[in-house]
A and B are shown apart, each in its own frame.
Chain A
Amino acid sequence: MSCVLKATDLGVSFGGLKAVEGFEIEIGENQLMGLIGPNGAGKTTVFNLLTGVYQPTQGDIQVDGKSILGKKPYEISQCGISRTFQNIRLFKQMSVLDNIKVAYNQNMKYSLAGGIFRLGGYWREEAQVEEKAHQLLEIFHMDHLADHVAENLPYGQQRKLEIARALAAQPKVLLLDEPAAGMNPTETQELMETIATIREKFNISILLIEHDMGLVMGICERIVVLDYGKILAAGTPDEIANNSKVITAYLGQQEEAAC
């Protein structure tokens, strides 16, 4: 299995505080991987490093064997890494359809003048994108909401729209930051199915931050556990579930538990 996203010895420090240190990950094609850890362990920081929001102070990140170090977030998106955010970041006042179309922008070619004077493939590209956006929304069962303003969608739909928008950027790797946060069990179940579907349909790799252990253990093939910015353990769900270090990190030490 070839490796799509690879991070080696990744780390960042903010004014002396090492938020993440020695982080390693290898995500293979079409692999679904989980990133877990207690609050403040540095999970979102890892996402911010991978997507260029923060510049790492050490280590390297490669997509398909090419380093993406020093690239801006928009360039990294064009390299094939797409993400969602922990606290949903939609283009609130834009329609659902336009939210998706924004992410297609990077694959559209017509120029500024073409846009103003409706030349150079404006009609063709706009029509294509319109159709692709509708198809994408169809997969999420949201096509009937296409003309709604994003802000007015219920919470669960907003989460789904954010995933759809990330997919519209046509990524190789999709990073999902707590996609099930704030969802009830039914919605979470539905989301798990959606994640499984998109992984198959788009043949992409997924890295998932999640607190819902059921969700992570249920669908991930490999799990990386982060604690205090360092990797505590990595392995299959079974290995992680029986790893004593992980149990300590999550439940506290046994002596303490005994008292």
Chain B
Amino acid sequence: MDLIKQLINGIQVGSIYALVALGYTMVYGIVKLINFAHGDFIMVGGYVALTVIPVLVSAGLSPWLCIIVAILFCALLGMATERVAYKPLRGAPKISVLITAIGVSLFLQNLFMLIFSPNPKPFPNFLDYPPLALGENFQISFVTLLTILLSLIIMVGLQFFIQKTKMGKSMRAVSEDPGAAQLMGINVNRTISVTFAIGSGLAAVASVLYCSAYPLVEPTMGSVLGLRAFIAAVFGGIGMIPGAMVGGLLMGVVESLTKAYISSQMSDAVVYGILILVLLVKPTGLFGKNVREKV
């Protein structure tokens, strides 16, 4: 019974990782950039929700709307980041782009430390619904259920969007070859903006779900969560959307089992250990394709 509990726990965290990993993977797929700031978008989403909930409640609106506000804010932030920091560096050496991304991440963290102080703030529990009881002493909390279901719906929806819609096809085309896509009449800049918007929006959803489950918001929360999700994305094969989902879920389960049965302090080391193992055995991840450098 305990094992099942841990598994469900793992799937819950894993769903959140998967949502964040999707953002990493989509952005990497399209501009070949590891968006180090992506984790910090989660943190921003958390603070936005935190700020907006009292306002919504006092206006007599449902606190659920905070998800929408967070999504909109993060999507705009994602697009703005791309415009200001990443777009000028398209075609620049990888090392410069990576350093810029690290710079953006540091910027967001320190900006929010200044605005909200470095201390963690409690997150209001607006998802306070009764848990779902399955049997005598076994129940699943509402947040867990919501997290798993919502993530599932989002992932299926995203897969549909990428495969079937015109914008989805543009994204795939740009990720294959931006130059050729442009010649085919695809607005590359707009496609990249939309990708960043969707990725950051997903981070906002993940953020609200995460903060509801672990009700604390702090400026550095993004780097830890982001790093794990990133590892999940690499695990699944960065740039591969199904990879991010599977990688996220696996990562969550592994982490939760390590914490329960091995050592909670060492769970970080185990997670990084997995990353290193994956990178060494198959750097392109579970679903990744091998790409040779052309000589």
Instruction: Return A84 CB to nearest CB of chain B, in Å.
Output: 12
Report the interface size for chain B: residues with CB under 8 A from the other chain. 1
A85: chain B residues within 8 A (beta carbon)? 295
The CA of A55 and the CA of B54, in the complex, are separated in Å by 65
A78: chain B residues within 8 A (beta carbon)? none
By beta carbon, the residue of chain A nearest B289 is A15
The CA of A85 and the CA of B294, in the complex, are separated in Å by 11
Interface residues of B in 252-295 (CB under 8 A from A): 295
A48: chain B residues within 8 A (beta carbon)? 295
A44: chain B residues within 8 A (beta carbon)? 295
Interface residues of B in 233-265 (CB under 8 A from A): none
B295: chain A residues within 8 A (beta carbon)? 44, 48, 53, 85
Interface residues of A in 31-69 (CB under 8 A from B): 44, 48, 53
By beta carbon, the residue of chain B nearest A15 is B290
By beta carbon, the residue of chain B nearest A89 is B295
The CA of A44 and the CA of B295, in the complex, are separated in Å by 8
The CA of A24 and the CA of B295, in the complex, are separated in Å by 22
The CA of A99 and the CA of B92, in the complex, are separated in Å by 24
The CA of A224 and the CA of B164, in the complex, are separated in Å by 48
Instruction: Return A162 CB to nearest CB of chain B, in Å.
Output: 14
The CA of A53 and the CA of B295, in the complex, are separated in Å by 8
Instruction: Return A220 CB to nearest CB of chain B, in Å.
Output: 23
Instruction: Return A28 CB to nearest CB of chain B, in Å.
Output: 27
The CA of A48 and the CA of B292, in the complex, are separated in Å by 13
Instruction: Return A176 CB to nearest CB of chain B, in Å.
Output: 15
By beta carbon, the residue of chain B nearest A73 is B295
Instruction: Return A43 CB to nearest CB of chain B, in Å.
Output: 12
The CA of A48 and the CA of B295, in the complex, are separated in Å by 8
Instruction: Return B294 CB to nearest CB of chain A, in Å.
Output: 9
The CA of A102 and the CA of B243, in the complex, are separated in Å by 42
The CA of A44 and the CA of B292, in the complex, are separated in Å by 14
Interface residues of A in 70-85 (CB under 8 A from B): 85
The CA of A85 and the CA of B295, in the complex, are separated in Å by 8
Instruction: Return B95 CB to nearest CB of chain A, in Å.
Output: 14
The CA of A48 and the CA of B293, in the complex, are separated in Å by 12
Instruction: Return B295 CB to nearest CB of chain A, in Å.
Output: 5
By beta carbon, the residue of chain B nearest A83 is B295
Contact with A along B138-162 (1 / 0, CB 8 A): 0000000000000000000000000
Interface residues of B in 63-89 (CB under 8 A from A): none
Instruction: Return B222 CB to nearest CB of chain A, in Å.
Output: 36
The CA of A44 and the CA of B294, in the complex, are separated in Å by 10
A53: chain B residues within 8 A (beta carbon)? 295
Contact with B along A85-103 (1 / 0, CB 8 A): 1000000000000000000
Instruction: Return A69 CB to nearest CB of chain B, in Å.
Output: 19
Instruction: Return B282 CB to nearest CB of chain A, in Å.
Output: 15
Instruction: Return A14 CB to nearest CB of chain B, in Å.
Output: 8
Instruction: Return A6 CB to nearest CB of chain B, in Å.
Output: 23
Instruction: Return A178 CB to nearest CB of chain B, in Å.
Output: 13
The CA of A114 and the CA of B186, in the complex, are separated in Å by 58
By beta carbon, the residue of chain A nearest B293 is A53
By beta carbon, the residue of chain B nearest A85 is B295
The CA of A76 and the CA of B34, in the complex, are separated in Å by 36
By beta carbon, the residue of chain A nearest B290 is A15
The CA of A98 and the CA of B268, in the complex, are separated in Å by 45
Instruction: Return A40 CB to nearest CB of chain B, in Å.
Output: 13
Instruction: Return B147 CB to nearest CB of chain A, in Å.
Output: 39
By beta carbon, the residue of chain B nearest A177 is B295
The CA of A235 and the CA of B295, in the complex, are separated in Å by 28
Q: List 4 A-B contacts (CB under 8 A).
A: A44-B295, A48-B295, A53-B295, A85-B295
Give 4 nearest A-B pairs by CB, closest first: A53-B295, A48-B295, A85-B295, A44-B295
Give chain B's interface residues, CB within 8 Å of chain A.
Answer: 295
